[in-house]
């Protein structure tokens, strides 16, 4: 039988060498020595990194094992303190409440150095605790055996605003027997003060006429078993209501009543009597609040109000001063321009109508009566009266009759006068209709406050008033030569202290600052061509304050025949500490034409 498979050629050693040469032959035709091989040494850094990574992995595994060991089983089972706060979460202010702070050693090992620190809100006032604290809100319990427990009771009340939210916190520290370090356990309870034990009502008329006397009665009480203490009642009087009396009387200078103690089921009443002024229209809201006083802080508990609707049917009138019927502040020497508009809104005639404008203040009023214009009014002391003797139309005012009374009151700058006074307008009606009796109605008083009397001047000089030179160089100023001048600032002040006094000006680019200055009070600073004099506080006892600084110029040919500017306009600002008003003054720019220096007069024009 014939074998037809292809014949494989025989591979000789020569063929093998030829193939190896083709693989390993270098570029220069040589063959490397392959009869022996040597192992390459590994890098030391490589070995270090590998070993470090392995060590970190081992430590991480140990740490995580410890974490899970202590937090998920062993420690929790062995050393567990259970804490709970029991008590109401919604309370009334002024109500006595109790909170039980319970603790239990739920673990398997004893606990030592166990201590409770109660973090109570400032508005929670402790009345008693069981047991008593070892220190302020701190209880030292000591040791606690496994599975044993205890409770601490805190009795007190919240004296807080209504509504308000608070937190009670119990912080326990202890040391398990199998540890040297201390541990903590914290429990918090949220408490909402949603109401108060105090009760309040306010009663008053639903309707009223301006000028008619009305009364409002406030009643405050509570139904607790124990008295409550430190109570304050504050009525909120409408702006257009004039108080004629209160019961009990207000404390001196305060519109409020204070009670040191209020027994249970014994309500206390407070009343306010008075009348609404002619400015009162529409609905008038009289309200009052009651609250506790804790550490001189008023904590509002309840509020009540009543709305009184104002009725027409009488003479309506308004007092307007300088365009306003509200309190205002003016400068000394200004003029108060006032007007009184009136109209008979009744359906019947009004007879013998008179208007009286009373100016009331402590001490002498700053009114220059010699220059006052009262027109149809007549002055009696510090009162101006308009009646039928000076204005016939006030003898009988028919329905819808109206008019306007004008007056001007210049304010004096005389010292020793009061710095504030009130202007109160009152109308008296002899009779209204056939059966109407006499009535008296007042407008809301207007308070006039007088700012401190402040003066400010700015001047440049070469000589003092007695002729002593304070400047230097040629006068008149000459081209190419340096002439120096001294700028004086003067402040006068009476009546009130001033704060934040600032005087500011700037100098042109061709005027140089000499870095030479002096002040009676405060300090002068120069920066970026701006000169500023600052006085943090100027008491009224210092009636005059002055400052000066020197500047120099060197005229050029272009300045010939002109008066060179030395400063821009100067501004003065200060705050009146009594009226809280900002007082501003300005002074004109200064030039080399020294208008206030008689020795340098006519020598301000630059020459060659």
Distance from C-alpha of 228 to C-alpha of 263, rounded to nearest angstrom: 7
Contact 157, 125 (CB under 8 A): yes
Q: For residue 189, which of 177, 171, 204, 201 has the smallest C-alpha distance?
A: 171
CA distances from 219 to 195, 249, 285 (A): 18, 15, 17
Distance from the Cα of residue 386 to its chain's centroid? 45
Q: Is residue 19 part of a domain?
A: no
Could you tell me if 151 and 176 lie in one domain? yes
Could you tell me if 94 and 115 lie in one domain? yes
Q: What is the pLDDT of residues 111-148, one digit of tens each?
A: 999 999 999 999 999 999 999 999 999 999 999 999 99
Contact 459, 590 (CB under 8 A): yes
Q: Which residues face 81 on adjacent strands?
A: 105
Please provide the distance, in angstroms rounded to a whole number, between the alpha carbons at the two ends of the chain.
145
**254 token code pair:** 């305060």
Could you tell me if 261 and 143 lie in one domain? no
Helix (H, G, I), strand (E, B) or coil at 53: helix
Could you tell me if 114 and 209 lie in one domain? no
Q: How many CB atoms lie within 10 A of CB 178?
A: 12
Q: Is residue 238 part of a domain?
A: yes
Helix (H, G, I), strand (E, B) or coil at 24: helix
Q: Which CATH number characterizes residue 384's domain?
A: 2.60.40.740
Distance from C-alpha of 369 to C-alpha of 408, rounded to nearest angstrom: 10
Biggest CA pair distance of the chain: 169
Q: Containing domain of residue 478, as a range?
A: 453-591
**171 token code pair:** 């912080």
At 291 the pLDDT is 97
Q: Is residue 599 part of a domain?
A: no
Helix (H, G, I), strand (E, B) or coil at 266: coil
Q: Is residue 40 part of a domain?
A: no
Contacts for 436-442: CB closer than 8 Å, 24+ residues apart: 436/348, 439/211, 439/314, 440/211, 441/210, 441/211, 441/275, 441/277, 441/278, 441/314, 441/315, 441/317, 442/211, 442/242, 442/275, 442/277, 442/278
Distance from C-alpha of 158 to C-alpha of 318, rounded to nearest angstrom: 49
370: left (phi over 0), alpha (psi -120 to 50) or beta: alpha
Q: Is residue 326 part of a domain?
A: yes
Could you tell me if 433 and 554 lie in one domain? no
Could you tell me if 281 and 374 lie in one domain? no
At 192 the pLDDT is 98
Could you tell me if 425 and 550 lie in one domain? no
Q: Which residues face 485 on adjacent strands?
A: 551
CA distances from 95 to 88, 124, 198 (A): 11, 11, 10
**371 token code pair:** 């220059």
Distance from C-alpha of 519 to C-alpha of 548, rounded to nearest angstrom: 7
DSSP string of 292-325, one letter each residue: EEETTEEEEEEEEEEEEEEP-SSEEEEEEETTBS
Could you tell me if 465 and 561 lie in one domain? yes
Could you tell me if 457 and 524 lie in one domain? yes
Q: For residue 428, which of 483, 477, 358 has the smallest C-alpha distance?
A: 358
At 59 the pLDDT is 74
Radius of gyration from C-alpha coordinates of the chain: 47
Domain boundary pick from 401, 434, 450: 450
Q: Is residue 512 part of a domain?
A: yes
Q: Is residue 36 part of a domain?
A: no
Q: For residue 228, which of 298, 289, 161, 291 has the smallest C-alpha distance?
A: 291
At 395 the pLDDT is 95
Distance from C-alpha of 491 to C-alpha of 547, rounded to nearest angstrom: 9
pTM over 0.85: no
Q: Which residue in the block uniquely carries the two structure tokens 């401190």?
A: 452
At 56 the pLDDT is 76
At 69 the pLDDT is 43
Distance from the Cα of residue 373 to its chain's centroid? 43
Could you tell me if 433 and 518 lie in one domain? no
Q: How many CB atoms lie within 10 A of CB 453?
A: 22
CA distances from 513 to 506, 523, 527, 556, 572 (A): 10, 16, 10, 18, 20
Contact 184, 171 (CB under 8 A): yes
**Residue 589, CA atoms < 13 Å, CB-side half-sphere:** 11
Could you tell me if 212 and 333 lie in one domain? no
Domain boundary pick from 402, 420, 450: 450
At 71 the pLDDT is 44
Q: Which CATH number characterizes residue 272's domain?
A: 2.60.40.10
Distance from the Cα of residue 492 to its chain's centroid? 32
Contact 441, 278 (CB under 8 A): yes
Going edge to edge, which strands form the sheet with 124-130? Answer: 81-86, 96-105, 149-158, 124-130
Distance from the Cα of residue 432 to its chain's centroid? 50
Could you tell me if 402 and 342 lie in one domain? yes
Q: Which residues face 432 on adjacent strands?
A: 350
Q: Which residue in the block uniquely carries the two structure tokens 């229209």?
A: 281
At 177 the pLDDT is 87
Q: Which residue in the block uniquely carries the two structure tokens 């009023």?
A: 365
Give the dihedral of Cα atoms 84, 87, 92, 97; nearest 10 deg: -110
Q: Which CATH number characterizes residue 143's domain?
A: 2.60.40.1530
Domain boundary pick from 416, 450, 484: 450
Helices vs strands, H then E, count in the chain:
3, 40
DSSP annotation of 370: G
**Residue 26, CA atoms < 13 Å, CB-side half-sphere:** 6
Q: How many CB atoms lie within 10 A of CB 47?
A: 10
381: left (phi over 0), alpha (psi -120 to 50) or beta: left
H-type alpha helices, 198-301: none
Q: Is residue 303 part of a domain?
A: yes
At 5 the pLDDT is 47
Q: How many CB atoms lie within 10 A of CB 538?
A: 23
At 577 the pLDDT is 96
Residues of the chain with pLDDT under 70: 1-48, 50, 54, 58, 60-79, 313, 434-436
Q: How do beta strands 183-196 and 90-93 pair? A: parallel
Number of domains in the chain: 4
Distance from C-alpha of 476 to C-alpha of 606, rounded to nearest angstrom: 6
Distance from C-alpha of 97 to C-alpha of 99, rounded to nearest angstrom: 7
């Amino acid at each position: 039988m014939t074998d037809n498979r292809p014949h494989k050629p025989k591979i000789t050693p020569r063929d093998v060498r030829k193939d190896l040469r083709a693989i390993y032959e270098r570029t220069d035709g040589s063959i490397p020595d392959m009869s022996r091989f040597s192992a390459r040494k590994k890098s030391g850094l490589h070995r270090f990194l590998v070993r470090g990574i392995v060590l970190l992995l081992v430590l991480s595994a140990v740490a995580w094992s410890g974490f899970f060991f202590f937090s998920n089983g062993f420690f929790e089972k062995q050393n567990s303190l259970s804490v709970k706060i029991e008590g109401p979460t919604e309370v009334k202010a002024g109500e006595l409440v109790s909170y039980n702070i319970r603790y239990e050693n739920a673990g398997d090992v004893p606990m030592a150095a166990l201590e409770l620190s109660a973090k109570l809100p400032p508005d929670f006032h402790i009345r008693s605790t069981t047991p008593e604290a070892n220190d302020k809100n701190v209880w030292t319990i000591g040791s606690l055996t496994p599975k044993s427990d205890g409770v601490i009771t805190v009795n007190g009340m919240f004296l807080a605003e209504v509504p308000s939210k608070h937190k009670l916190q119990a912080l326990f520290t202890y040391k398990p027997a199998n540890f040297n370090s201390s541990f903590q356990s914290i429990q918090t309870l949220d408490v909402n003060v949603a109401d108060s034990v105090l009760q309040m009502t306010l009663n008053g008329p639903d309707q009223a006429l301006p000028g008619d006397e009305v009364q409002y009665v406030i009643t405050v009480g509570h139904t607790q078993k124990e008295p409550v203490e430190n109570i304050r009642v504050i009525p909120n009087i409408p702006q257009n209501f004039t108080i004629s009396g209160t019961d009990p009387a207000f404390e001196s200078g305060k519109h409020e009543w204070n009670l040191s103690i209020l027994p249970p089921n014994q309500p206390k009443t407070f009343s306010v009597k008075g009348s609404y002024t002619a400015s009162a229209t529409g609905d008038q809201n009289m309200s009052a609040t009651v609250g506790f006083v804790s550490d001189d802080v008023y904590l509002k508990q309840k509020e009540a109000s009543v709305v009184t609707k104002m009725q027409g049917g009488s003479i309506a009138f308004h007092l307007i001063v300088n365009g306003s019927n509200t309190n205002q502040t003016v400068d000394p020497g200004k003029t108060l321009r006032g007007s009184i508009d009136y109209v008979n809104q009744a359906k019947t005639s009004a007879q013998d109508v008179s208007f009286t404008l009373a100016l009331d203040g402590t001490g002498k009023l700053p009114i220059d009566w010699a220059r006052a214009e009262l027109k149809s009014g007549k002055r009696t002391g510090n009162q101006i009266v308009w009646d039928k003797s000076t204005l016939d139309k006030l003898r009988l005012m028919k329905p819808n009759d109206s008019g306007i009374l004008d007056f001007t009151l210049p304010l004096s700058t005389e010292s020793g006068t009061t710095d504030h006074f009130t202007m109160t307008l009152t109308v008296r009606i002899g009779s209204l209709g056939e059966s109407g009796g006499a009535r008296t109605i007042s407008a809301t008083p207007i308070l006039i406050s007088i700012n401190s009397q402040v003066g400010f001047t700015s001047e440049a000089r070469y000589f003092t008033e007695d002729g002593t030179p304070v400047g230097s160089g040629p006068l008149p100023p000459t081209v190419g030569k340096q002439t120096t001048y001294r700028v004086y600032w003067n402040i006068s002040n009476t009546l009130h202290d001033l704060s934040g006094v600032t005087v500011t000006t700037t100098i042109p680019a061709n005027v140089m600052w000499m870095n030479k200055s002096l002040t009676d009070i405060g300090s002068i600073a120069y920066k970026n061509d701006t000169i500023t004099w600052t006085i943090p506080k100027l008491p009224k006892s210092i009636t005059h304050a002055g400052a000066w600084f020197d500047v120099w110029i060197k005229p050029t040919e272009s300045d010939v025949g002109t008066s060179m500017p030395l400063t821009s306009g100067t501004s003065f600002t200060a705050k009146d500490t009594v009226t809280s008003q900002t007082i501003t003054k300005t002074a004109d720019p200064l030039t080399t034409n020294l208008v206030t220096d008689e020795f340098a007069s006519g020598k301000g024009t630059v020459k060659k």
